[in-house]
C-alpha cells in the first residue's frame, strides 16, 4: 500500500465493469492498469481475451467494425464468426478448430472454433510481488463429445510494461481429443501505419493461397490503407524462441511478442491493408489456420489423451525503443 494514496486503484489495479447498450450489452469487462502507462480491457465473456489495449495513450490493437458483440449473438454457420469478430488486441482461436470451417471425422467445425465466444468462469485477480494476476477458466465441453478445460492466467508486471500469458489446456475426459489453439494478435492504428517496421525472424515464408503469393517478398512491408486490397496470409517457419516485433518511429512505441516453438510450432501473418479494414495479425499457434482436416492430412494435428494437459506461454513487451 502506497502511503501517498487512498486506494490502490489510484495508481494501478483491476476494475470490474459491464457494457451498456448495443450488442455488447451486459458483457463483463476487466479494466487493467499497471501504473506505468499500460492499460487494457479483458473481455470476460469472450474467452477472457484482450479487447482494447493502449500504451501511454496510443492504441495498439485493431477494433473491428462490429465492435463489442455478446456471445449470445454468435453464429457458427459459414462466415458467421466474422459478424462477431471484435478482433481486439488478442482473440483466442480453438480449441477444436483453427482456420477454415471444415468437417473432420464426421464432425462439423466452425471457422476458428468457438472458444472466443465462450464466457469465462471462476474469474479472480490479486496483486503479488511480481505484478497483477488475473485468472479465468474456460470450458469447451459437450455430452458425448470433447471434455476440454483451459485455465488462463495473465501476470501483468507493475515494474515494467510486460504481460505474461499462460494457458493450460486439460483433457478431463476419457477419450483422446484433438487440440488446436492460435493466438490471433491484431495490430492496429496508430501503432500500425506506413511508418511501422515489422520484424519476423523467418527461416522461410510460404503463402497460404494463390492470392497471397505475389505478396511473399513484401510481406513485412506496411502500406497505406487502400480502397481495394485482398487479404493475404503467410506462414513463417520459425525456430527456438523467436521475437516478433513491430515498432512505429512516428509514435516512438512498439511491441515484442515472444513464445517457444516447442509449444507453438506454427506462426501465421495476416496482412489486410484495406481502408477501414486495416490490420496486421501476428498469430502463433500449435497449428496453421487452415482447418483441422488439413492439419490431420498433414500429420500436424496434436492430440491430447484422456487425463493429459498441455501448457502454452506468451510474453508481450511494450517499448519506447526501436
Per DSSP, 226 falls in state: B
Degrees to nearest 5, angle at CA 48 with 54 and 108: 125
Residue 111: helix, strand or coil by DSSP? coil
Q: Which residues pair with 88 in a beta bridge?
A: 62
Degrees to nearest 5, angle at CA 55 with 98 and 224: 65
For the chain, percent of residues with pLDDT exceeding 70: 100
Q: How far apart are CA 281 and CA 269, in angstroms?
A: 5
Q: How far apart are CA 309 and CA 322, in angstroms?
A: 37
pLDDT at res. 6: 93
Domain ranges of the chain: 8-319
Each residue's pLDDT tens digit, 86-134: 999 999 999 999 999 999 999 999 999 999 999 999 999 999 999 999 9
Asked if the model's pLDDT at residue 1 lies above 90, the reply is no
Each residue's pLDDT tens digit, 119-178: 999 999 999 999 999 999 999 999 888 999 999 999 999 999 999 999 999 999 999 999
pLDDT at res. 249: 98
CB atoms within 10 A of CB 265: 18
DSSP 28-72: EEEEEE-SSSEEEEEETTTTTEEEEEEETTEE-BEE-TT-S--GG
Chain-centroid distance of CA 226 in Å reads 25
Domain 8-319 class in CATH: mainly beta
Asked if the model's pLDDT at residue 318 lies above 90, the reply is yes
CB atoms within 10 A of CB 322: 11
Q: How far apart are CA 209 and CA 196, in angstroms?
A: 25
> What contacts 54, CB < 8 A, 6 or more positions away?
38, 39, 40, 60
Q: How far apart are CA 60 and CA 90, in angstroms?
A: 11
For the chain, percent of residues with pLDDT exceeding 90: 96
* pLDDT grade for 301, boundaries at 50, 70 and 90: very high
Contact call for residues 269 and 200 (beta carbons, < 8 A): yes
pLDDT at res. 322: 82
All three cell numbers of 47, joined, read 474467452
CB atoms within 10 A of CB 141: 12
Each residue's pLDDT tens digit, 238-259: 999 999 999 999 999 999 999 9
Exposed, middle or buried, 302 (CB in 10 Å: 0-12/13-18/19+)?
Answer: middle
Contact call for residues 32 and 156 (beta carbons, < 8 A): yes
Asked if the model's pLDDT at residue 85 lies above 90, the reply is yes
- Once rounded to an integer, what is the mean pLDDT over residues 282-289? 98
All three cell numbers of 32, joined, read 487493467
CB atoms within 10 A of CB 270: 21
Maximum distance among all Cα pairs of the chain, rounded to whole angstroms: 62
pLDDT at res. 183: 98
Q: Look at residues 140, 37, 162, 35 and name the one whose alpha carbon lies nearest to residue 92.
A: 140
Q: Is pLDDT larger for residue 282 or for residue 79?
A: 282
When the pLDDT of each residue in the chain is averaged and rounded to a whole number, the result is: 97
Each residue's pLDDT tens digit, 218-243: 999 999 999 999 999 999 999 999 99
Q: How far apart are CA 9 and CA 251, in angstroms?
A: 27
Q: How far apart are CA 55 and CA 252, in angstroms?
A: 11
pLDDT at res. 145: 87
Q: Where are the beta strands (DSSP E) in 179-229?
A: 180-187, 197-199, 204-207
Per DSSP, 225 falls in state: P
CB atoms within 10 A of CB 78: 11
pLDDT at res. 154: 98
CB atoms within 10 A of CB 255: 23
Amino acid at each position: 500500500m502506497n502511503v501517498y494514496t487512498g486506494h490502490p486503484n489510484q495508481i494501478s489495479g483491476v476494475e470490474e465493469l459491464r457494457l451498456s447498450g448495443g450488442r455488447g450489452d451486459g458483457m463483463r469487462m476487466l479494466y487493467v492498469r499497471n501504473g506505468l502507462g499500460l492499460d487494457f480491457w479483458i473481455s470476460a465473456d469472450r474467452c477472457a481475451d484482450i479487447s482494447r489495449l493502449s500504451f501511454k495513450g496510443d492504441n495498439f490493437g485493431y477494433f473491428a467494425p462490429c465492435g463489442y458483440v455478446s456471445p449470445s449473438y454468435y453464429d457458427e454457420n459459414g462466415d458467421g464468426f466474422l459478424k462477431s469478430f471484435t478482433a481486439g488486441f488478442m482473440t483466442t482461436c480453438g480449441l477444436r478448430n483453427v482456420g477454415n470451417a471444415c468437417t473432420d471425422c464426421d464432425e462439423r467445425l466452425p471457422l476458428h472454433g468457438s472458444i472466443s465466444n465462450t464466457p469465462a468462469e471462476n474469474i479472480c485477480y490479486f496483486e503479488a510481488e511480481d505484478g497483477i494476476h488475473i485468472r479465468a477458466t474456460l470450458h469447451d465441453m459437450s455430452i458425448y463429445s470433447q471434455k476440454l478445460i483451459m485455465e488462463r492466467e495473465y501476470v501483468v508486471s507493475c515494474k515494467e510494461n510486460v504481460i505474461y500469458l499462460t494457458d493450460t489446456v486439460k483433457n478431463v475426459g476419457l477419450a483422446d481429443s484433438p487440440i488446436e489453439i492460435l493466438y490471433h494478435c491484431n495490430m492496429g492504428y496508430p501503432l500500425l501505419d506506413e511508418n511501422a517496421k515489422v520484424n519476423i525472424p523467418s527461416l522461410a515464408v510460404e503463402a497460404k493461397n494463390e492470392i497471397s503469393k505475389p505478396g511473399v517478398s513484401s510481406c513485412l512491408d506496411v502500406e497505406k490503407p487502400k480502397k481495394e486490397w485482398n487479404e493475404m496470409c503467410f506462414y513463417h517457419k520459425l525456430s527456438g524462441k523467436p521475437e516478433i516485433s513491430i515498432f512505429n518511429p512516428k509514435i516512438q512505441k512498439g511491441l515484442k511478442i515472444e513464445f517457444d516453438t516447442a509449444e507453438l510450432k506454427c506462426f501465421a501473418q495476416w496482412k489486410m491493408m484495406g481502408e477501414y479494414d486495416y490490420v496486421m495479425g501476428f498469430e502463433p499457434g500449435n497449428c496453421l489456420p487452415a482447418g483441422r482436416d488439413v492439419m490431420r492430412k498433414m500429420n500436424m494435428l496434436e492430440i491430447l489423451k484422456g487425463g493429459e494437459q498441455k501448457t502454452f506461454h506468451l510474453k508481450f513487451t511494450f517499448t519506447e525503443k526501436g
